[in-house]
Amino acid sequence: MFRTRGIEKLLASGSKSYDDVEQLLMQVGVIGAFLLSISFPLQWSVLPGTMDDADFFGVLCSSQQFRSYVVDRLEANNFTDWQLPYNINATLDVKTELLVHVRAAGRACPRLS
């Protein structure tokens, strides 16, 4: 982690002592402990199921190859209801949106428009 030559050079110069290096290391340890005390509550404030959903939708939005895989898997399991109603008398063809429109429009995620 620390460069040995740098510490030896610092100590050999006579301007610093082992106490200064020890204080520096102690400060680094205190800062590390402080950052850990902040990061653990942040990590546990998000439910694991939410992270799984976020990972799935992130890949679904960003990868055309994954969208094609999802469509292939759904069709292999005899899924046929690709029409999603989102307004009165309006439906979205999810299969076409996933395979064609997202890539053609250059959008990261499909939208209901």
Q: Are 66 and 103 in contact (CB under 8 A)?
A: no
Q: Is residue 57 part of a domain?
A: yes
Residues 35 and 72 occupy one common structural domain:
no
Specify whether 61 is located in the same domain as 91.
yes
Residue 20 domain boundaries: 4-44
Residue 106, token pair as written in the block: 């250059």
> Same domain, yes or no, for 60 and 100?
yes
| Measured distance CA(51)–CA(60) in Å, rounded | 14
pLDDT on residue 22: 85
Tally of domains in the chain: 2
Question: Would you say residue 111 lies in a domain?
Answer: no
pLDDT the model gives residue 16: 55
Verify that 18 and 36 share a domain, yes or no. yes
Alpha-carbon span 92 to 83, nearest angstrom = 6
pLDDT tens sequence for the chain (113 residues):
455 566 666 666 655 567 778 888 999 999 999 999 888 888 778 777 777 877 887 788 778 888 899 899 999 999 888 888 888 888 888 888 888 876 555 555 644 33
Assessment of whether the complete model's pTM goes beyond 0.85: no
Tell me, yes or no, whether 79 lies in a domain.
yes
Q: Where are the alpha helices (DSSP H) in 1-113?
A: 4-12, 18-44, 48-62, 64-76, 94-96, 102-105
Instruction: Count the residues in the chain.
Output: 113
